[in-house]
Amino acid sequence: MSATPFRIFLDPKIHFLRAILLTNRKTMARKKKIEMDIVNPNAAGIDVGSKSHYVAVGQALEDVKEFGVYAEDLVELCKWLLSYGITTVAMESTGDYWQNLYVELQKHGLEVILCNGKFTKNAKGKKTDVKDSRWIQQLHSLGLLSGSFLPDETTEILRTYCRQRANWIDLASSASHKMQKYLKLLNFRLDVVVNDVCGLTGLKIIEDICNGNLDPYSLAEHRHYNCRKPKQEIAKALHGNNREDYLFGLRQELDSYKFFQRKIKACDVEIERLIKSEIKKSPEKKKLKTSEKPYKRINKNAVDIKNFNQVAFQYFGGTDLMAVEGVSHATVMAIMSEIGIDGFKKFKTAKQFCSWLRLAPNNKISGGKILSNKIPKGSNRLKIALRHSANAIGNLKDTHLSDFFKRIAYRKGRQAAVSATARKLATIIWTMIVKNVPYNPPSQYLFLDQKRKMGIAKRIKKQIAKFDIKPDEIGLGNSLSPNYNF
């Protein structure tokens, strides 16, 4: 019995059959391929450039064609895609070059997926425009690309006005700093006696200096009654050297500052006109009224819209965002211009909204261990506005959000508290707008032992009410307060 398997093992026929079997297995393993389902059969990929666009409708070299960036080239591109039966197109959001092409593709009825460039940079080998367009087409055909957030047309127009206004504010700030520089060179220490050089007192004094009045005592007469420093100290700070070259530079910067302020006012007019025109489209919104909020301070750089609290309440259809502590006029304006009302509805949950804002931790887990849970890098204007509001909340006292801020700051520091509070603000705002829920914070914060005590008392009350137990029946007698009701 023991010799038989030994003879079989030495038999050359068995060795030959075994070798053939192993060879067939290796051949089958080489031929085996993992196939993926094509989600978008009529898909195209476009590599956007500054001087030309490369369009791929397939993976062959003859399926790629280059087009120019002029208006007639974009029309020709769209017609070429329609001739191949293309229904959906994917392209990267490269700079500002994609915008005109995006509009033209939508005009011709094509579905456009605008994706982030970091999701399309995994192709190996040499990088060329042809390979990039083919790689984008392949990813889009397999359904591996997701579109970026794009606001509706009204929000996009409002965004243009607000961003242009922000540019003018930056330029006005630069002119203000240069005016302060020339004042110091002239030895007019206006910055010491006045909090804001471009305030009511400061601007009147600078204008009078530029008009040729260099008498410190007559300049001090422009003091506003709210100014803390007396006229004598202001006059003492305005004894200068009166150099002509510095005075010339001061006049130039004052003219620039006034020019920028006129541009800012023009932007405010357009913003107010657009917002009120949107409110007029819905008669129901015009009837809405909210409570006054005199405690909300208005920054001088805020959009100059009369009764902005009421206008914002009507614009959001009865959602009072100004009721949230820390939310200012600038925060509400950023929400209007960066995402709009319809933009919130594109996010199914508040967690998705916070993730889009990059306020949620980016958990990286491997082998069951958390390698990193930091917040992703990158900021948009709405995230910056929410972080400013969160920082302001940290300076408040005895509010629900300020208590939350201080608890996080005590454990992890102020920087982490700003991010956590900004995320909480984003969740609150999403819930208020999408679910049409008013802001109703709890009156006080309950710690863990207090929550447990409240839960136990609630369960006991349910049991007593269920079995209709009287205090005397459980031996409590008169030990309970007569005002205690079960």
Q: Give the pTM.
A: 0.79
Distance CA 49, CA 318 (A): 44
Q: Is the pLDDT of residue 26 over 70?
A: no
Distance CA 399, CA 402 (A): 5
pLDDT band for position 23 (cuts 50, 70, 90): low
Distance CA 472, CA 357 (A): 58
Write the secondary structure of 190-252 as one string of H (helix), E (strand) and C (coil). HHHHCCCCCCHHHHHHHHHHHCCCCCHHHHHHHCCCCCCCCHHHHHHCCCCCCCHHHHHHHHH
Distance CA 34, CA 116 (A): 27
Q: Are 141 and 116 contacting, i.e. CB atoms less than 8 angstroms apart? A: no
pLDDT band for position 7 (cuts 50, 70, 90): very low
- Give pLDDT tens digits for 54-90: 999 998 999 999 999 999 999 999 999 999 999 999 9
- Give pLDDT tens digits for 124-179: 777 888 999 999 999 999 988 888 888 889 999 999 999 999 999 999 999 999 99
Distance CA 336, CA 353 (A): 15
